Amino acid sequence: MKYVLVVGAGLGGATAARILAEANYRVFIVEKLGYVGGHSHDEVNEDGILVHTYGPHIFHTKSKDLFDFLSRFTQWHYYQHRVLSYVDGMYVPFPINRDTIAQIFGIELESEMVEGFLKKEVANSTFSNPPLNFEDAVVSQIGRRLYEKFYMNYTRKQWNMEPSKLSAEVAKRIPVRFNRDGRYFSDQYQGLPLYGYTKMIERMLDHPKISVITNCDYFELRSELKPVSTFYTGRLDDFFDRMYGELEYRSLRLEFKTYQKEFFQSAGVINYPNDYDWTRITEFKYMTGQRSDLTTVCYEYPLDKGEPYYIVMDEKNMQRRALYVNEAEKLENTGEFLFIGRLAEYRYYNMDEVVGRAIEKTEEWLRRHL
């Protein structure tokens, strides 16, 4: 039988599988865990609250096409994510905006004056221009005072490295706003699948040409399989038996706690840059819109080792990545393998970027093979 093998039933694998099946390919997905969804997996906990197994997940994209594609498999709970940061004993809006500055410095500025205010903060700071690293990138936007309050210690805690060793790329994830827009993301399409990510992904995989085999590790059977092609979404270094050494990840210990009250905190996520050992606390009911007399929250404690949550964007790992990507591209050129997603491309992708990559790479493969 001719079939395509997809390794991993996260968003990347599910997207690729669906597109292949709709192009009339027989698809087998092997997933080493006992469930589908990968890092966007969610489930109802024993207290009846829908929680995200691997930490808070909010879907956001600028692309209508991508949103329309996923909307075939789910309705949405429309939600605009808001984050507060606990700084100087106050809960203030983050990313930094006009209201943050008002609360931190006790000055009321019109929106038109905020840019000038930040320019002065920057002018009073030293940094490399153009920015060479995360610290420079942030200080060049908001100055050192705000950097030290909001970014410096959070970044040390999260990455266990000096912000001057982290790539400037990471800073691009967080905007700075001159107005009063208190949302975390500015994308036009934002929300959560109404019945959860797992349900959405199960529907993506619900197709007569797709078979999902859970609890099945690709590496235990790869020599026995003869697919026309393998679409791989697991770790890039694992695929090549770590021939160039390990691509490192930061991990998290997630502590879930249920409280006998309707709400625990005043926003979906509260960041703690300077206090406590956790980086942030998530309260899922804000995001999912679920109603209950109980509430579940999740504390995130950064870890050096464990489940691969975050790629490490420092020089050593980026150089090593380039070696692996070179090997992966050689295989991709044969058409017998594709590497898709956050783990397989070793990129700090959001969910929409993973879906986008899966669509792009699978459609390109189909153009070559139909």
3-state secondary structure of 93: strand
Q: Which amino acid is at 174?
A: I
Task: Say whether residue 51 binds ligand FAD (CB under 6 A).
Answer: no
Contact between 198 and ligand FAD by CB under 6 A: the answer reads no
Residue 107 tokens read as: 């000055």
CA distance 156 to 315: 17
Rounded Cα–Cα distance for residues 80 and 355 (Å): 20
Name the residue with tokens 């698809």. Answer: 27
Tell me, residue by residue from 228 to 267, as one string, x for binding to ligand FAD by CB under 6 A and - for no binding.
-----xx---------------------------------
Q: What CA–CA distance (Å, rounded) separates 152 from 42?
A: 31
Quick one: which segment of 122-130, 152-160, 192-200, 257-265 binds ligand UDP (CB under 6 A)?
152-160
In the list 96, 341, 346, 362, the residue contacting ligand FAD (rule: CB under 6 A) is: 341
Per DSSP, the three-state class of 195 is coil
Of 3, 26, 32, 259, which one interacts with ligand FAD (CB under 6 A)?
Answer: 32
| Contact string 40-59 vs ligand UDP (x = CB under 6 A) | --------------------
The answer to the question of residue 271 lying near ligand UDP (CB under 6 A) is yes
- 3-class DSSP state for residue 157? helix
CA–CA separation, 144 and 138 (whole Å): 8
Of the pair 54, 264, the CB lying nearest ligand FAD is at 54
Measure the CA angle with vertex 354, ends 351 and 359; round to 5°. 130
Q: Choosing among ligand UDP, ligand FAD, none, which partner's interface includes residue 85 (Cβ < 5 to 8 Å by kind)?
A: ligand UDP
From 67, 73, 127, 150, residue interacting with ligand UDP (rule: CB under 6 A) = 150
Instruction: By CB under 6 A, tell whether 70 contacts ligand FAD.
Output: no
Q: Which is nearer to ligand UDP, 154 or 284 (CB)?
A: 154
Phi–psi pair at 346, nearest 5 degrees: 50, 60
CB 8 within 8 Å of CB 233: yes
Nearer to ligand FAD, 25 or 185 (CB): 185
Q: Of the candidates 5, 27, 51, 56, which one interacts with ligand FAD according to CB under 6 A?
A: 56
DSSP annotation string for 27-50: EEEE-SSSSS-GGG-EEE-TTS-E
3-state DSSP helix/strand/coil % of the chain, to nearest 5:
40, 20, 40
Please report whether residue 278 would count as binding ligand UDP according to CB under 6 A.
no
Footprint of ligand FAD (CB under 6 A): 7-13, 30-33, 38-40, 54-59, 217-219, 233-234, 309, 341-343, 349-352, 354
Footprint of ligand UDP (CB under 6 A): 85, 94, 150-151, 154-155, 158, 170, 173-174, 271, 273
